[in-house]
Amino acid sequence: MTPKKNIHLILMVALTAVFLLPGCASQAVTETPAPATATAVVQKKVLNIWSPDTPTTLNPNFSLGTQDYEPSRITYEPLADFDKDGKLVPILAIEIPSLENDELAADNKSVIWKLRRDVLWSDGEPFTADDVVFTYSYIIDPEVKAVVKSEYSQVANVEALDDYTVKVTFKDVNPAWALPFVGIRGLILPKHIFESYKGPNAREAHANTVPIGTGPYRVKEPGIKPQEVLLLGSQVVKTTKIVFEPNPYYRFKDKIAFKQVVWRGGGDLTESNRQLFEEGSLHVAYRVDPALASADSKGKLLYTFRTGVRRILLNFTDPYKLSAEGEYSSLLVAHPLFSDKTVRQAIAHAIDRKTLIAEVYKTSVPANAALVAPPQYLSKKVFYEYDPQKAKALLDEAGYVDADGDGFREKDGIKMKILFQSFVDAKTQVAQGIIKENLRAIGIDVEIKPTDSGIMFGDDTSNPDSIARFNADLMMFGTTSNNFDPTAFMDFWTCKQIPQKANNWQAGNNNERWCNQSYDDLLQQTKTELDPVKRQEMFIRLNDMLIEDVAMIPVVWERDVFGVNQYLEGLDPTPWDSLTWNIQDWYFAEP
């Protein structure tokens, strides 16, 4: 295999069943003295990256989707990360804590992280344990309203033992000790930049869009720059551009291979695919169309399975009726249709996954669970298969009939007509059309509402079209787990994670507004259960509670398909983090 040959690279990232137990051997990195001054880095190439989604913030603590995580990961780093095999590797830490190195307590109630001493922030200030302690206090501050609080829910205290040693103490025994400060939801913030914005003014920080990080590249002013504005029907579709330059204080300067990294978000999928496969002017593209890659194209394909599924969310609250407090989708007003489980079950039986895969998600497999990775937690139960006749019978049972002969059912004057929202994306709109016909076939009328991804997943929760507000009946998007331990992921559906007016729609990720105390109680048990077999059984039961009650409808377990320039090497995707997690290792291997 040589870069001169136009080869389609297909990489299947395996999700291993090996769980990182406390006794695993640690992996260490070599420390070098911290550089005293910046060093000029002169490179030859510009790396052009395109994503169909538009980022709205580069502060990962406010991100509601991967459109923000991906570019922010170029700048920010965690203490450690999970590679494609589910193995913890040190990033800002020297080594992985373990029983052998006495950094993981035998009772699983605390863990010690030893930090690298050769790290500077991209403005030249030293990285120390104080930054880690501050990051924790920032995330748990209720006025900050960070969206990554689940990873820190079991933490009692974070303290600096010295400038380069951090101790994390937990509220109880904690099998998920590697949740805090690990992976994409564990990125470390600079105290000297954000300490003036730890409170209700947190979203006003300039660094939210022009971050100061420890990674290989830093963002140039003005940060996220709006570009042209497109129209999709009545919807405004924004496009953005972010320019990164080498971080002159990065500890591995000889690894930096690009004089600039240009990130573009939003725009036309067909044109971007043409630029990658035909022109070669685009070097990395997200969610490409594999059919456009030919034997003589200038790009290759990179596949990786996700750690989550694309799902249909059902709103358990009424998106059209105001509560007494003046709130739509309020917990005080149940959804007129979906409060009936029989109706939810009918919709679950109406979804034709095989057609969706055949016509849209061609590299995916059917999904019947929310928790699909690591594989030991995947439930074998299939609660709802495609059966439109059963779906009709369930609606008959619920008392919904087509009384006026217009093809759509009603009951007590309530017509079965629903609004189906999703983000602007060519495949998504085709999938929505198929699902619309599935539901119309059983007597439910559907209106499709495409929404700009920057709005739908953006950090502006005051926008009624954001996923936190969920002012529709159905939504569809993918949700992934970002840690090998599923505790934080399954915490998404606890009652405390429901966004609502009282918490400024920033409580967490339970957009369905499904609340089940039995689920919450069982999840709490997993947080102190050290027996891996018992924990496995608990997580499978938690998944089954979600799916059986139709809190959501899993549709497909997707493979991400990236387009990569034929000469770009070094990419090592892990399903547990952004594609950009190892961008310091990327380079052009031109002839």
- pLDDT at site 508: 83
DSSP of 337-400, one letter per residue?
Answer: TTTSHHHHHHHHHH--HHHHHHHT-TT-EE---S---SGGG----------HHHHHHHHHHTT-
**Which phi-psi region, left, alpha or beta, contains residue 87 (left: φ > 0; alpha: ψ -120 to 50)?**
beta
Local confidence band at 25 (pLDDT 50, 70, 90 cut-offs): very low
More confident residue, 24 or 384: 384
pLDDT of residue 427: 85
Q: Rg of the Cα trace of the chain?
A: 24
Give the pLDDT score at 231: 52
* DSSP class of 190: P
Q: Residue 90 in contact with residue 79, Cβ under 8 Å?
A: yes
Q: How confident is the model at residue 331 (pLDDT cuts 50, 70, 90)?
A: very high
pLDDT band at 237 (very low <50, low <70, confident <90, very high): low
Rank 10-14, 518-522, 557-561 by mean pLDDT and report only the highest: 518-522
Per-residue pLDDT, averaged over 193-212, amounts to 96
Q: Tens of pLDDT along 495-543?
A: 999 999 998 888 889 999 999 999 999 999 999 999 999 999 999 999 9
Tokens 């979804």 belong to 351
Angle of the 517-526 helix axis to the 532-548 helix axis, nearest 10: 160
Tell me the two tokens of residue 139: 């995330």
Q: What is the DSSP string of 441-494?
A: TTT-EEEEEEE-HHHHSSS-TTSTTSTTT--SSEEEEEEE--SSS-HHHHGGGS
| Distances in whole angstroms, Cα of residue 537 to Cα of each of 1, 79, 480, 525, 541 | 44, 30, 20, 12, 6
Contact predicate 292/277, CB 8 Å: yes
What value does the mean pLDDT take over residues 32-47?
A: 59
Contact 334, 316 (CB under 8 A): yes
Per-residue pLDDT averaged across 211-223, rounded?
97
- Residue 11 — very low, low, confident or very high, per pLDDT cuts 50/70/90? very low
> pLDDT tens digit string along 265-280?
988 778 888 899 999 9
Q: Grade residue 1 by pLDDT with cuts at 50, 70 and 90.
A: very low
In the predicted structure, residue 9 carries a pLDDT above the cut 80? no
**Per-residue tokens: 101:** 């190195």
Above 70 in pLDDT, residue 34? Answer: no
Q: Give φ, ψ of 199 to 5 degrees.
A: 160, -155
Q: Is the pLDDT of residue 19 over 70?
A: no
- How confident is the model at residue 43, as a pLDDT? 61
The confidence band for 47, taking pLDDT boundaries of 50, 70 and 90, is: very high
pLDDT bracket for residue 349 (50, 70, 90): very high
Tell me which DSSP letter residue 202 carries. G
CA distance 407 to 412: 17
Residue 431 pLDDT > 60: yes
Share of the chain above pLDDT 90, in %: 74
Show the tokens assigned to 103: 């950094």
- pLDDT of 92-111, one tens digit each? 999 999 999 999 999 999 99
Sequence-separated (6 or more) residues with CB below 8 Å from residue 413:
none
The yes-or-no verdict on residue 471 having pLDDT over 70 is yes
Check if CATH label 3.10.105.10 holds for domain 308-557. Answer: yes
Closest CA to 242 of 259, 257, 220: 220
Q: Of 238-242, 430-434, 438-442, 538-542, which gets the smallest average pLDDT?
A: 238-242
Distance CA 241, CA 575 (A): 25
Token code pair at residue 577: 């983090």
Average pLDDT, the chain: 89
For residues 120 and 274, which has the higher predicted lDDT (pLDDT)? Answer: 120
Q: Using CB atoms within 10 A of its CB, is residue 383 exposed (0-12), middle (13-18) or buried (19+)?
A: middle
Q: Output the DSSP codes for 82-106.
A: E-TTS-EEESSBSB---TTTT-B-T
Q: By mean pLDDT, which of 11-15, 163-167, 241-245, 436-440 is the weakest? A: 11-15
74-95 tens-digit pLDDT: 999 999 999 999 999 999 999 9
Alpha-carbon distances, residue 32 vs 94, 116, 121, 216, 501 (angstroms): 11, 8, 16, 17, 49
Which comes out higher in pLDDT, residue 33 or 147? Answer: 147
Q: What is the pLDDT of residues 359-405, one digit of tens each?
A: 999 888 999 999 999 999 999 999 999 999 999 999 999 999 999 99
CA distance 104 to 114: 11
Instruction: Tokens for 88, please give them.
Output: 């913890």
pLDDT in tens, 281-310: 999 999 888 887 877 889 999 988 888 899
Rounded to 5°, angle at Cα 337 from 334 and 342? 110
